Structure formats: C-alpha cells, structure tokens
Amino acid sequence: MIWLQKCNPFTVLLYFVSVTALAAVYNNPYHTAVTLAAAIVFFILMRGKGKAALWFFTVFILTFIVNPIISKKGVTPLLFIGDDPITLEAVIYGLNSASLIAAVMFLFYCFTELTDSEKLLYMLSPFSASAALTVSAVLRFVPLYAKQAELISNQQKAIGNQGGKSIPERLKFGGRVFSALSTWALENGIVAADSMACRGYGTGRRSFYSAYGFKKSDGVFLVCQLIFIAGAVIPSIFTRCSYQYYPSLDFPDVNALFIISALSYALLVFLPLISEITDRIKWKYLLQKI
C-alpha cells in the first residue's frame, strides 16, 4: 500500500478507526463481509507474513466455535448436545463476530506496518510532547541496550563468569547481566537527561517539527472519508442498518436509505484500494510510454 504510506498519518488513523468502528457498530454480515474482503486484500498488498495470517485464522476458528457453545439464545435449534441446543442464530452470530475479529486483526496488522516510529511520534506530539519524547527515547534505547547487554555478557564471560548449561546457572548469569545493564541504563539515562537540559530542553517555548505536511491529496482523502462516514451514519438514524441475531435472524429492510448507507460504507472501505489501483495503472501506463 504505497499510497497509504504517503498519506498524512492522521487521515490514515481516521480511516482505520472509522472502518473498524462502523463495522463493529452495525455488526451486519454485509458490513463484516466488505471489511473482511478489504482487509485481506490490504494484507496481500502489504505482503503480510503467512505466520500472522495463520494466527488470525486460529483466532477466527476459536471465536467461531466458542459462541454457539456458550450462547443459549436463538429460536432455531440445529442439534442438541445433551440438553443444550446449538441454535442457528448463535452459529451465524459466531460466524459474523469471528469474521469481524479476523478483519480487525488484519486491518490493525496493516496499520502497524504502515505506522513507523516517525509517524507514531507525529501523532502523539500534539497531545503530549512528553509521551512522544518517551516513545522516541525508548525506540533508541532498545537497540542500544541490546548492544550493551551483549557487551556485558561478553565481559562477564571473559572474566570467568561463564554461564553454565543448566537452567539455574543460566538464570543466574542472565540476572547478573540484567542487573549490570540496568545500573548502566539508569546512569546513562541521567547523563542523557543532563545533557538534554544543557542544550536547553524544557527551558524555552516548545516548537514542533514535523516531517508530514498536510498535502492537497490528504485534504481530498479526508473530505471523501468524512462524506462517506456521514453517508453511512446519517441514514442509520432514520432506518435500522444493524442486523438482528436474537431471538431470530432479521436482515434490515432494504430501502433507499439502507442502500445509501451500505454503498457509502463500501466506498469508504475501498477508498484507499481504489486510489492504489488507479496509481498502479497510471504507473504502468507511464512506463509503457517510455
């Protein structure tokens, strides 16, 4: 998803939040199917890892199985286990919520892949500069500490504190390295903080630097999103858009308002995909011209 990567992080955040929130609010098989389809396409376009997909699939199966067994609601029994009925409604509800959870997991996987540390900082800084600073410091500390831990363990080995093969010995060795590492880390932190203070951190008025401007395309993306969100939400005030599972299955009336809402939602979900595909076609076309 090269296209989403270039967008302003806030508009991307709005996209993921609104898509998942609306799907969860309507809880309608139609919305769930649209979201799941888009999520899987995103996942493939982002070249997601097969291991992650396998894990999401496991969660899907578990959620799907658990609901009919626990839930005793619904009026159409399919079969009985002992005296407990397994109802059609509970099975459909389980299928829907399992697909919804899988879709959300796929979407959040893509969101995490799209949001690198720079973007995370950019999104945090207007709310809390200290939280943003903490995140940024931590992201620096993780590789630094890994390197230092390796140094310490090598030094410990060199002076003869070789960790043995048995578990207690290894724990003892690990504990010693961790202790030395944390002493060093705390001191190093104080030194870093003092040098920050020397360079004027926290003394003057804060100014912001941001690598992400608000481009024209971000504006278009944002406005389109807002229109489609409004298109999906406003009709649902006047007509029911959510699906009824209990006591019996009931799809909302398919009237003009429902169709507007459903179409707006589909457009909202596939908006980045449409842009991405147009971009790719354009690129192919330009390549051919050369």
Partner 1 sequence: MTVIENKNARAAIRIGVPIILTATAVMCALFATDGRKYAVITVIVTLLSLLLFLSGFDKKRIGSRRLVLGAVFVTLAVAGRFIPQLKPLTAVVIISGMFTGAETGFLVGAVSVLISNIFFGNGPWTPLQMAAMGLIGFFGGVFSKGLKKSKVILALYGVACGIFYSMFMDIWTTCSATGSLQLSAYIDSVIAAIPFTVIYSVSNVIYLLLLTPPFKRKLDRIAEKYGL
Beta carbon nearer to partner 1, 138 or 263: 138
Rounded Cα gap, residues 273 and 153, in angstroms: 49
Beta carbon nearer to partner 1, 3 or 243: 243
Q: How many CA atoms lie within 13 A of 236 on its CB side?
A: 20
The 3-state DSSP composition of the chain as helix, strand, coil percent (nearest 5) reads 75, 5, 20
Q: Give the interface with partner 1 as residue ranges (CB under 8 A).
A: 20-21, 24-27, 63, 66-67, 70-71, 93, 97, 101, 104-105, 108-109, 111-112, 124, 126-131, 133-135, 137-139, 141-142, 145, 179, 182-183, 185-190, 192-194, 196-197, 201-202, 207-208, 210, 233, 236-237, 241-242
CB 41, min distance to partner 1, A: 19
Question: Exposed, middle or buried by CB within 10 Å (0-12, 13-18, 19+), for 85?
Answer: middle
Beta-carbon count within 10 A of 225 CB? 19
CB 228, min distance to partner 1, A: 15
Cis peptide before 247 (omega within 30 of 0): yes
Beta-ladder partners of 80: 85
CB 284, min distance to partner 1, A: 34
CB 290, min distance to partner 1, A: 38
Beta carbon nearer to partner 1, 21 or 281: 21
CB 144, min distance to partner 1, A: 9
Beta carbon nearer to partner 1, 200 or 284: 200
For tokens 């720079």, the residue is 118
